[in-house]
Chain A
Amino acid sequence: MSRAVSKRSSASASQASQKKSRPSRAKSSPKLDVAQLLHFYREMLLIRRFEERAGQMYGMGLIGGFCHLYIGQEAVVVGMQSALDERDSVITGYRDHGHMLACGMESRGVMAELTGRRGGYSRGKGGSMHMFSREKRFFGGHGIVGGQVSLGGGLAFAAKYRDDGGVALAYFGDGASNQGQVAETMNMAALWQLPLIFVIENNKYGMGTSVNRSSAGEGLYKRGEAYGIPGERVDGMNVLTVAEKAKEVVSHVRKNGPYVLEMETYRYRGHSMSDPAKYRSRDEVSKMREERDPIETLRELIVKQKAASAEDLKAIDADVRAIVADAAEFAQESPEPDPSELYTDILIEA
Chain B
Amino acid sequence: MPTEILMPALSPTMTEGKLSKWLVKEGDDVRAGDLIAEIETDKATMEVEAVDEGKVGKIVIAEGTDAVSVNSVIAVLVGDGETVSEEAQARQQGEPEKAVKPISPPANPTASLSTSTSEQMDAEEAQAYASTNTLTVREALRDAMAEEMRADGNVFLMGEEVAEYQGAYKVSQGLLDEFGARRVIDTPITEHGFTGIGVGAAMDGLKPIVEFMTFNFAMQAIDQIINSAAKTLYMSGGQMGCPIVFRGPNGAASRVAAQHSQCYASWYAHCPGLIVIAPYSAGDAKGLLKSAIRNPNPVIFLENEILYGQSFEVPTSEDFTVPIGRAKVLRPGKDVTITAFSLMCRDALAAADALAAEGIDAEVIDLRTIRPLDTETIVESVKKTNRLVSVEEGWPYAGIGAEIAATMMDKAFDWLDAPVQRVSGKDVPMPYAANLEKLALPQVQDIVSAAKAVCYR
A interface with B by C-beta (< 8 Å): 52, 55-56, 58-61, 64-66, 89, 91, 120-126, 130-134, 139-144, 147, 149-155, 157-159, 161, 180-181, 183-185, 187-188, 191, 273-274, 276, 278, 339-340, 342-350
Contact = CB atoms under 8 A, between A and B. Distances in A.
Nearest to A338: B103
B359 interface: no
A132 B100 CA distance: 29
B210 to A, nearest CB: 11
Interface string B293-316: 011110000000000000000000
Nearest to A348: B296
B27 to A, nearest CB: 24
Given A147-B224, A346-B273, A152 B297 contact: no
Contact of A122 (B12, B44, B113, B236): B236
10 contacts: A125-B235, A134-B240, A140-B232, A142-B228, A151-B203, A181-B193, A273-B10, A274-B14, A344-B238, A346-B272
Interface stretch (B194-202, B404-412, B423-431): B194-202
A163 to B, nearest CB: 9
Interface in B39-79: 41, 43-48, 51, 70-71
Given A150-B196, A350-B113, A123 B11 contact: no
B127 to A, nearest CB: 21
B200 A157 contact: yes
B10 A140 contact: no
Contacts of B294: 350
B287 to A, nearest CB: 14
Contact of A345 (B103, B233, B295): B233
B193 A153 contact: yes
B401 to A, nearest CB: 24
B220 to A, nearest CB: 9
Q: Which of B112, B197, B201 gathers most chain A CB within 10 Å?
A: B197
Contacts of B240: 132, 134, 139-140
B232 A158 contact: no
Contact of B239 (A64, A132, A153, A278): A132
Interface residues of B, number: 68
Contacts of B200: 91, 139, 150-155, 157-158
Nearest to A180: B192
Nearest to B51: A56
Contacts of A344: 238
Given A122-B236, A140-B240, A345-B238, A155 B41 contact: no
Given A55-B51, A150-B197, A342-B103, 11 more contacts: A60-B6, A60-B9, A125-B236, A126-B236, A141-B236, A150-B224, A153-B197, A155-B203, A184-B194, A185-B197, A345-B236
A153 B196 contact: yes
A150 B210 CA distance: 14
Contacts of A348: 233, 241, 296-297
Contacts of B320: none
Nearest to A194: B197
B117 interface: no
A349 B112 contact: yes
B234 interface: yes
A199 B197 CA distance: 17
Q: Which of B12, B71, B112, B237 gathers most chain A CB within 10 Å?
A: B237
A64 B10 CA distance: 10
B103 A340 contact: yes
Contacts of B201: 154-155, 157-158, 161
A273 B11 contact: yes
Contacts of A345: 233-234, 236-238
Nearest to A120: B237
A191 B32 contact: no
A61 B199 CA distance: 35
Contact of B205 (A158, A276, A340, A349): A158
A343 B112 CA distance: 12
Given A52-B51, A132-B240, A150-B195, A188 B227 contact: no
A185 B46 CA distance: 38
A181 B201 CA distance: 16
Q: Which of A65, A121, A276 gathers most chain B CB within 10 Å?
A: A276
